[in-house]
Every structure is written in structure tokens, then in C-alpha cells.
Amino acid sequence: MSAKLTTGQTAEIAGPKKAFLIPKPEVAASMMNRARRILLVVGSEAIKVKTKDGDLIDTAIRMASSKRITIAATGHISGEFRRRGAVGVHGISIMELGDRLRDPSWSGLDNGGPYDLAVFMGLPYYLEWLVLSGLKNFAPSLRTISLDNTYHPNAGWSLGYSPQEEWIEILDRIVSNLEGAG
Amino acid sequence: MESRESGDLVKRDLSLKIGEFSSTLGVFKDVEIQVGRILEEWEEPLGPTPFPDITALREWDLKLLSRYKPFYMPFCDLCCLCTFGKCDLTGDKRGACGITMAGQQSRIVLLACCIGASAHTEHARAMLNHLIEEYGRDTPLDVALNTNVEAPHTRLVCGFRPRTLRDLDDALSYVESQIVQLLASTATGQEGNNLDYESKVFHVGMLDHVAMEIADIAQISVLGFPKGEPEAPLADLGFGAIDTSKPMILVIGHEVLPSVEIVNYLMDQGLFGEVEVGGLCCTAHDTARYNKRARIIGPISWELRFIRSGIPDVVVIDKQCVRTDVLLECKKIGSPLIATSEMSCHGLPDRTHDEPDKIVEDLVERRIPGALILDPRKVGEVAVKVAMKIAPRREGVRPLGVEESGELAKRCRHCGECTRACPNNLPIMEAMSLARNGDFTLLSSLYDLCVSCGRCESACPEDLPIVSMINAAASKKIAEERSKIRVGRGAIQDVEIREVGRAIVFGEIPGVLALVGCANYPEGGGDVARIAEEFLKRRFIVVASGCAAMAIGMTKDEEGLSLYEKYPGVFDAGGLVNVGSCISNAHITGAAIKIANIFAKRPLRANYEEIADYIYNRVGAVGVAWGAMSQKAASIAAGCWRLGIPVIVGPHGSKYRRMLLGRREREEDWMVYDARTGERVYIGPAPEHLFYAAETVEEAIVMVAKLTMRPNDTSKGRAVKLSHYIDLYQRYYGEMPPDLHLYVRSNADIPFTMRDQVVAALEKAGWVEGKIASPDPTLLERLIRRRL
Ligand code: SF4
Ligand code: SF4
Ligand code: SF4
């Protein structure tokens, strides 16, 4: 599967430290499988992004249930998760979340201790870019992954841009892989 | 000191005075003797911090910053400010000068705020110098009806009561000297600590509000703007309000003097009905304050689209938020450009000292594309004459038509570069695909979401005029774009403050919401009107200024009415108050200051900390700059922070790269003194944040309701505020707010109609009554009246 280094917005180019490109879905899945405590951060645009499961919210729910991952729903999107009957979803704004993720003493949304991996998807491009920058610079012990269909230079690892159909496939393979390992 | 003939003398005396004030309280008496005129005695004694220097309020700043710790989101990992660089500051690396990433981010925030405050200060300076020259130094100030406290910021910060334009000059000199020092601190190898930079950010924000106040009260006093009148007239707003059959002068920017002279010339010549004068951005607000028949076309984001319409026969720019490619755009439609400020000369020949008719001839005959004229009166004459002469010649100039757009769309290569360049990620490529087949619906729908930045056009390899194509597709919508806005009324009257002060401080009026700032909206300006209406219905006081005030007026209901026609302009529950242009923002914070002074009788004069402490703990005011874009918006926000007023920005506001966020779960962060006893008590996270970017408008609406809560709320007031917070949270998040237990202090705080739900939620959260105190709250030890 091809992955080009196309970013969401032309001017948002990377600094000297930039995300590793996730070469194939299995790599993302294995990073997630190896993580101790994952937070899946889902932004307000998830509802507009079509996936095999319906939209990105449905995919997030599927992903979370496969590995008992906690979902942080940003913006006001937690209401939508709730309407779809998802459990274990925490509504928290992206600013409040970013601020806490950089704090190694934060005990997490469920008081279960700090997260070692935060997986991002569905935020407005520039907002995710900035929060990932905050974490890249100020949360050295947190690993971050972006699963959006674009390259996010400030993540630790990021998918690249692919034609929409391919990306839908990639995402599905990541979730299937998690389910297999679940 | 009585010898005050020249401006130089004033400045010399003032710098002496500032130097003296930088030391301790002890020197006050001496200083007062030296600067007798401006620091004359009045009934109010001089407070502790007249003309505060950079560190005078540092302790206060650090108190706030210990609650609201900066969260930095670097927009750039490098620094290239000196030849040691570029330096990579990623993570824990340091620059060659030793600076950290946190230090660098706060430094950039300070730089941005210095730029913003300088813009307002320069504006105030140009305005004041002009008015002094025209009307004399001793021209008295006459700011608002029924008002004694004419200049709350100047009184609070500088410690004197300005009576004339000359007095304003003194205050402005202080602001200017401070900004130079603040800017100096950003030089390589100066400040090293990010919190010290942040304190300086607060300082420049405070100064900015003094500068804005000076600029606005000077123009209100002299130019006959509405003087705090709740029933200020309604003016026409929108593209469709322009009579295109007449010659049209477009004014853009922020400093109203050239526009005033255009209106004066038209009146003097009896031509007002024959020429249209329309404005963009704050100049439009202020021209309409001068004469309500001037049209307000729209906010900054209308600049490209309105020039591209081909309607303006001449474009007059003054300063700030003017597109720097304006000359290029004017050339495209064959309209001359008149630049009127040293701030933006645009490479044009300086014709200030030439005969007006000679300039007119050269412009009409197109010997020059435009002219720089640094004399507002001459601008008035030249602009009118050029518009009238050139209009008939320009009749052939038409904007791009729909059919042509369809043809152009066929050239689209589907590369997607436009969308990648678009800050709002708009589906331009898809719209082009449909347009080439004659379906313009998607292209037309982009009109409401596009901020007209033109980035898509720069990116397009086919050089497609995308903004013009969107305009063409939306031409019907544009023609109908006509509504009403109440012109900027300026200050809030002292009598109004007296009437509502109590209800605000005790929380019975649930909050004061200020909708301010620029037009960099994530999904169009309609969101601002939506926020306004939500809180007007809830009987908040809604104040507005600048582009946000226009955005509110642009949304109409089914009957074609804007919110300005449906809600009164009073500063009272359910009132919608347009204060005016960006510089009128000083009246919004000024109203908060006046609540502390007039209602609560806290001494105002040079008493910054105490007044800020009062506002912070008692006045449920929240600013929302949904489309904040400029450095000016940043410095305005900084002035709010120092006063303890929280500010919410839209998602693009995250690019200011630093938030000030509280941590509600850390009880130790939310302690105050009870001024009655000196006891330190826990008051819950109110207000939770000081600077916050919301991702969605729904999130912002809920956050507004939450941030109005203050430790001083009475139970009745807290119950009202909680009922709005709970109602809105449930509407958008579908559940009870998870932090409810942090805001209910006692059973009496529980909103009556929601009792069962709230009690259940509190039980679940393990709430105990009385854990959260209801003290006479203060952060200032010196305000404790009696020790335990
Ligand atoms: S100012 Fe400091 S960080 Fe910036 S380029 Fe110079 S040495 Fe490097
Ligand atoms: S002009 Fe409009 S469509 Fe083009 S990049 Fe700017 S916001 Fe997007
Ligand atoms: S950048 Fe121009 S050519 Fe490319 S998709 Fe957009 S409109 Fe078409």
C-alpha cells in the first residue's frame, strides 16, 4: 500500500524531529498491541469521515472494544458516542487532554495510571498538529500515533496520505489485526 | 509643574515620573509634586501602582499563572531570530543563547502581543496627534452620558483622571515607553524564564487596553460618536446594502480619520446621497458611528470578495488588517488605491503635498495606480472626486459570471492543492468537478465557510480565481446579503453599571459574554450569531465589537430580522450591546472595572491588583473571540487575562500556541483567602481556564456557561449559572456534567427544577456538602480584614 508524505495543509511542515511513517497497517497494530495503556483520542470530525464500519466513530468503538482501549472523545463528540451506546468513552476537550497528557503524574481518565500510547484521529488537521507538537516537545515519555489519512509530522508515528479507499482499507486492517490479537 | 507648552516637555516630565515610580511606595509624595498637573489630588487617594513598571504587578501575574499553567503547542520548533541560529529547540534542547522551548514560545507570544499593542498604540497616537492639531490640547473629554468614570483603564493603570486630550497624551506616552521595554526583553539574551515572559505578556495586554481606551474616548469626544447610548441607531450591513448604481468608495482598515473626511466632504458638497461610502473591518464600524448612513459591508474576510465584485470605484485604506496585496487587487478591477497611513504605504508615490485636483487627474487618467496621501482632509476631497469621475469609465468592469466560472472549472486538474492550502479544508476540488458540469451548489455553499484568504488561489497550478468563482456561484446570496446592525455605542454608562452591578456580582444575571475579535471562523460567522442568540435567550448580557459584532448582524431570521433588531442595546440582562470597533473593546473590560469601582466602591485609582482580584473572583464575564486571527486579538486577550477574565477562542486560536489552563482535579490550586477571616479555603475550579481554544462551537457554548461561575456567587446566583451549564451540557454531551460536584457548594446551590438529577449525580460523585467554601474571596493577603 502506498503512502505519500502529503500533509493535510501545505504550510504545516515538520520540524527537525518528525513522525516515522507507518509503512503498513500491521506496524500500527503491533505498536498498539505492545502498548501497556492506550488512549484513543477521537476528534469532532470523526462523524464526517466514512469508514468500513460506517464512520470513524463506529470504527473507534470497534477498535476500543477489541482491546479494551479507553476513548477520549474531544469537542462535544462524546454525546454522539453515547447515542450509539458506546461505553467507556470519556468526553474531554482536546486542550484539557493535551495539558494532562504532558503531565507524567496524571492518573488518566479512569484513574488507572498514565498512558504510554495516545492514538489520534478525527481532529481538525491544524488542531491535532498543534496538540501533537505540544506532546512531542513536552511529553517525552508518551508515544503518539496518528491514524488520520494524512501525514502528521508531530506524531511519533503517522500514516501517510493515501487515496480514500486505500486508507479505509488500511484502517480496517489495523482494527482487524487488533481484534485478532485481542 | 505648570510649564507644559510643548509636547516634548510633557514627555520629558513623564519619563522622569515613570522612573521615580519604579521604586517603592515611599516616593509617591515627591513624584506628585513633580508631576502636579496630571496627578492632582482628587477625592480618591492614589493607589499602590500608578504607572506600573514591568515588574510592578508580577506577583499578581504569578498568582494567576500558578493556577493557569501555560500549555505550549509550538507552532515552529526552530528559532531564527539571531545569527547564532537557526536553533533547534525541540524537546529539552536549548538554543545557542540558552533559551528553552517553553521560553521561546512565551517569547513569541510576547512578541505577538507587543505587535498587537503597538498597532493600537500607534493608532491612538495618530488619532490623538491629529485631534490635538485640529481641535487643540485642551479639548475636553466627553465620553458617555450619565458617566463620571470616563476612562476606567487610564484611572486604574496610570492613576489619574484625564480631562482633556492633553491628559490622554500623557497616558499614551507611558504606554509607548513601556512597550519599548517589553519589546527589548525579547532580544537575544534577555529574559530566560517563561513565566516572566508570560507576566510581560500580561503587562502588554494591560497597556493595550489603556491605548485602546485612549484612541476610542478621544474619537468619541471629538467626532460626535454615540456616547454610550443604548439606542444608538441601526445601520445597513452587508454586500447587498450597496447601491451599485452610484459611484462607490470603499474604505478598509481601522483608523477612521480619512473616512470621516470623506463623509465631511460629501456633506459639505451636498453629495452624500450621490456617492456610496462602504467600509470593511473596524473603519466601517467607526464610519457608521460617525454617520449611520455609511454602509458596513462586512468583516475583514469580505475584503477580497468585495474588491473582486468590481463595485468599488476607489479604495481607501488606512491601517491594520488591510490585505497587503490590495494594490494588485485594485489594479485587477481598474480602481485606484489611496493609502492614507505611514503604516501602509504600499509603494505608492507620496502626493500629500500636491494639489488635490492634480492627484485626481493622475488617478483618473491612470498615470499612477494609486497615491499615498497623509492628510485626511485631502483624502476626503480626492477620494470623492476620483470616485465620481472614474465611475462612468468603469461601468464595463463586471465581476466574473457563473458561466465563465463553469468554463474555468474545466481547467481544474484535480490535484487537490487548493484544499491542502485551505485553512478550513474546504472541498474546492469537488466543487470544481460539479461546476464544470453546470452544478454550482457546492461551490456556492463554500461562500459561507470561506474566509477569503486566497490561499487556494496561490496554490492552484492553473491560477484559477477560486474566490471569484465562489462569489459568482453565490451571487444570488450576495445580493440578498443585507441586514441591520446597531452602530457602536461606545462605553457603558455609569448608571447602567449601578443598575446591574449587584445582579452580576451575585450571579443573578448569569454572565456577561463578550463576543469579540476577527473573522477567522472554522465554519463561518453564523456560529457567532448562534452563540449570541443562545445566551441572549438565557438573559446574559451580550456585548460585541469588531468583526464579531458584524457577524452577529449578518444572520437573519425568517422575517429577515437580525439580532440587533430583536434585542435591545442596553447593558442589562438580554441586552445586545455593540460597543464598536476593536479599540472599543476597552469599554468591555472597562465595564468590568467599573462594576468593581462604581457598584462595589473599590478604589480605582492606580489600584490594579485589587480591582483585578475583584473582577476575577466576582464578575462572571467571559470573552469569546471565535475567529481570533490577529496579534491585536492576542494582546486584547492578554489584557483580559490580567484582569482575571477568561477568554475562549475558536479552533484556529490554538495557533496562538499557548493556552492558560486550570486543572480542576488539583484541589490545592483552587484555594483563596476568606477576606473576613484570613482562612485559606477551597472554592472549586471557578473559573476553570483563563485561555482556552474550543474545537467546536458546541464545546465553546458549554464552556461559556461554565466559565461564568465565580467563588463569590450567591446560592441563588450559582443555581442560575448551574442550570445553564447543566442544560447546555446535557443538550450537547447527552449526560450530566462530570464535574458538577466541583461547583455545588451546598444544597442551596442546586437548581430547583433539576434537583433530582443533580442530587443523583452528586451522590454518584461522592459529594459532601460544605467542602467547597463560599468565602469573601481574594487572592491578596493584604485584603484580609481580620485574622483568625
Ligand atoms: S535567539 Fe537564541 S534560540 Fe534564537 S536563533 Fe538566536 S541563539 Fe538561537
Ligand atoms: S479563500 Fe476560502 S476556499 Fe480559498 S483557501 Fe481561503 S478559506 Fe479556503
Ligand atoms: S488547486 Fe486548482 S487545479 Fe488543483 S484541484 Fe484545486 S482548483 Fe483544481
| pLDDT, tens digit (0-9, with 9 covering 90-100), for B353-362 | 999 999 999 9
CB-ligand 3 contact for B131 (6 Å cutoff): no
Tell whether B685 and B572 lie within a shared domain: yes
Peptide bond just before A124 cis, omega within 30 deg:
no
In order of A152, B34, B75, the CA distances from B313 in angstroms are 46, 55, 40
| pLDDT, tens digit (0-9, with 9 covering 90-100), for A30-69 | 999 999 999 999 999 999 999 999 999 999 999 999 888 9
B43 within domain boundaries: no
Peptide bond just before B86 cis, omega within 30 deg:
yes
Amino acid A13: pLDDT? 80
Checking if the pLDDT of A8 tops 90, the result is no
From the list A8, A16, A78, which residue is nearest B90 (CB)? A16
Which helix (H) or strand (E) segment holds residue B194: the answer is helix B194-223
B620: CATH = 3.40.50.2030
Residues A135-150 have a mean pLDDT of: 97
Which helix (H) or strand (E) segment holds residue A42: the answer is strand A38-42
Which helix (H) or strand (E) segment holds residue A118: the answer is strand A117-121
Residues B735-750 have a mean pLDDT of: 97
Give the Å distance between the CA of B655 and the centre of ligand 2: 18
CB-ligand 3 contact for B229 (6 Å cutoff): no
Tell whether B357 and B449 lie within a shared domain: no
Task: Determine the residue of chain B that is closest to A7 in CA distance.
Answer: B420
Task: Determine the residue of chain A that is closest to B664 in CA distance.
Answer: A96
| pLDDT, tens digit (0-9, with 9 covering 90-100), for B317-333 | 999 999 999 999 999 99
B175: CATH = 1.10.8.190
Atom of ligand 1 lying closest to residue B79 CA = 4
From the list B88, B421, B661, which residue is nearest A16 (CB)? B88
Checking if the pLDDT of B6 tops 80, the result is no
pLDDT band at B293 (very low <50, low <70, confident <90, very high): confident
* Angstrom distance (rounded) from CA B710 to CA B44: 28
Amino acid A111: pLDDT? 93
B229 within domain boundaries: no
What's B569's DSSP letter? -
A126–B694 CB contact, under 8 Å = no
CA distance A50 to chain B (A): 15
* Angstrom distance (rounded) from CA B511 to CA B571: 12
Please state whether A111 falls in left (phi above 0), alpha (psi between -120 and 50) or beta. left
Amino acid B24: pLDDT? 35
Tell me which chain A residues have a C-beta less than 8 angstroms from the C-beta of B74: 15, 133-134, 137
> Which of B422, B448, B479 represents a domain boundary (last residue)?
B479
Q: Show which of residues 40-59 on chain A sit within 8 Å of chain B, judged by CB atoms.
A: 43-44
Q: Of the candidates A120, A113, A124, A135, which has an alpha carbon nearest to the alpha carbon of residue A45?
A: A124
B71–A102 CB contact, under 8 Å = yes
A133–B77 CB contact, under 8 Å = yes
Backbone angles phi, psi at B88, to 5 degrees: -90, 120
* Angstrom distance (rounded) from CA B782 to CA B788: 14
Best of B424, B469, B520 to mutate for ligand 2, by most ligand atoms within 8 A of CB? B424
Give the Å distance between the CA of B429 and the centre of ligand 2: 12
Q: Where are the domains of chain A?
A: 22-148+168-181
> Which of B200, B223, B246 represents a domain boundary (last residue)?
B223
CA distance B76 to chain A (A): 7
B735–A137 CB contact, under 8 Å = no
Strands (E), B299-353: 314-317, 337-339
Amino acid B7: pLDDT? 35
Amino acid B19: pLDDT? 42
B788 within domain boundaries: no
B308 within domain boundaries: yes
CB-ligand 1 contact for B84 (6 Å cutoff): yes
Tell whether B426 and B363 lie within a shared domain: no
| pLDDT, tens digit (0-9, with 9 covering 90-100), for B409-465 | 999 999 999 999 999 999 999 999 999 999 999 999 999 999 999 999 999 999 999
What SS3 class is residue B743? coil
Kindly give the pairing relationship between strand B234-237 and strand B680-682. unpaired
Residues A114-123 have a mean pLDDT of: 97
Tell whether B250 and B218 lie within a shared domain: no
B45 within domain boundaries: no
B695 within domain boundaries: yes
Task: Determine the residue of chain B that is closest to A105 in CA distance.
Answer: B666
What SS3 class is residue B336? coil
What is the widest separation between alpha-carbon atoms in chain B?
83
pLDDT band at A11 (very low <50, low <70, confident <90, very high): confident
Tell whether B288 and B359 lie within a shared domain: yes
Which helix (H) or strand (E) segment holds residue B330: the answer is helix B326-333
Range of the domain at B734: 483-781
Does residue B303 contact residue B452 with C-beta atoms inside 8 Å? yes
* Angstrom distance (rounded) from CA B118 to CA B105: 20
Tell whether B329 and B427 lie within a shared domain: no
Amino acid B397: pLDDT? 79
Checking if the pLDDT of B23 tops 70, the result is no
> Which of B394, B425, B451 represents a domain boundary (last residue)?
B394
Kindly give the pairing relationship between strand B647-649 and strand B680-682. unpaired
Amino acid B30: pLDDT? 38
Q: Of the candidates A172, A132, A34, A94, which has an alpha carbon nearest to the alpha carbon of residue B73?
A: A132
Tell whether B730 and B667 lie within a shared domain: yes
* Angstrom distance (rounded) from CA B637 to CA B642: 9
Residues B759-780 have a mean pLDDT of: 96
Q: Which set of grid coordinates corresponds to residue A120?
A: 489520534
pLDDT band at B508 (very low <50, low <70, confident <90, very high): confident
pLDDT band at B398 (very low <50, low <70, confident <90, very high): confident
Q: Give the percent of chain B with pLDDT over 90.
A: 90
Tell whether B370 and B343 lie within a shared domain: yes
Residues B54-73 have a mean pLDDT of: 98
Helix axes B194-223, B58-67, angle to 10 degrees: 110
From the list B91, B692, B734, which residue is nearest A95 (CB)? B692
Instruction: Determine whether B667 is exposed, middle or buried from the number of CB atoms within 10 Å of its CB (0-12, 13-18, 19+).
Output: middle
CATH architecture assignment, domain A22-148+168-181: 3-Layer(aba) Sandwich (3.40)
Judge whether B767 is closer than 8 Å to chain A, CB to CB: no
Instruction: Say how many domains are in chain B.
Output: 5
Checking if the pLDDT of B35 tops 50, the result is no
Tell whether B638 and B563 lie within a shared domain: yes
What SS3 class is residue B109? helix
| pLDDT, tens digit (0-9, with 9 covering 90-100), for B599-637 | 999 999 999 999 999 999 999 999 999 999 999 999 999
What's B232's DSSP letter? P
Amino acid A14: pLDDT? 80
Tell whether B636 and B704 lie within a shared domain: yes
Does residue B313 contact residue B333 with C-beta atoms inside 8 Å? no
Amino acid B179: pLDDT? 98
Tell whether B410 and B389 lie within a shared domain: no
Residues A157-177 have a mean pLDDT of: 95
Q: Identity (one letter) of the amino acid at B788?
A: L
Tell whether B247 and B267 lie within a shared domain: yes
pLDDT band at B139 (very low <50, low <70, confident <90, very high): very high
Tell me which chain A residues have a C-beta less than 8 angstroms from the C-beta of B689: 95
The interface pTM score, or ipTM, of the predicted complex is: 0.96
Task: Determine the residue of chain A that is closest to B698 in CA distance.
Answer: A76
Instruction: Determine whether B93 is exposed, middle or buried from the number of CB atoms within 10 Å of its CB (0-12, 13-18, 19+).
Output: middle
